Amino acid sequence: MIPVPSHVRVWLAVGRTDMRRGMNGLALLVQEAMKRDPHAGDLYVFRGRGGDLIKIIWHDGLGMSLYAKRLEKGRFIWPSPADGVVSITAAQLAYMLDGIDWRNPRSTFRPERAG
């Protein structure tokens, strides 16, 4: 789990993002598309076309970090591009990283019953 301080804002880049982009490419996307400063200390979350991969960039004051997570089953719940830039809480991000719908917390994947 990413140690996110409670005062940090989390921004979702709605729509699809080219997941071949690295840290610098995503930071440039934050500046140009979201009109925000990637070095301000906020987290920026991007989702790929398939919906099972997200990347997060975060500047913690010392340097930029890039985190990636891929779900083996299910997809990350994502707002539509019409919503514009969306801000969520650190708790909602934790739900998202666990594959749970952050808008209405419940599991998006149920494993088949064993036995």
Domain edges within the chain: 10-97
Whole-number Å distance between alpha carbons of 8 and 99: 21
The number of residues making up the chain comes to 115
What is the H or E stretch that residue 94 is in? helix 90-97
What tens digit of pLDDT does each residue of 23-69 get? 999 999 999 988 999 999 999 999 989 899 999 999 988 999 999 99
Is this structure's pTM higher than 0.85? no
| Rg, the chain, Cα only | 14
What tens digit of pLDDT does each residue of 84-102 get? 778 888 888 888 888 887 7
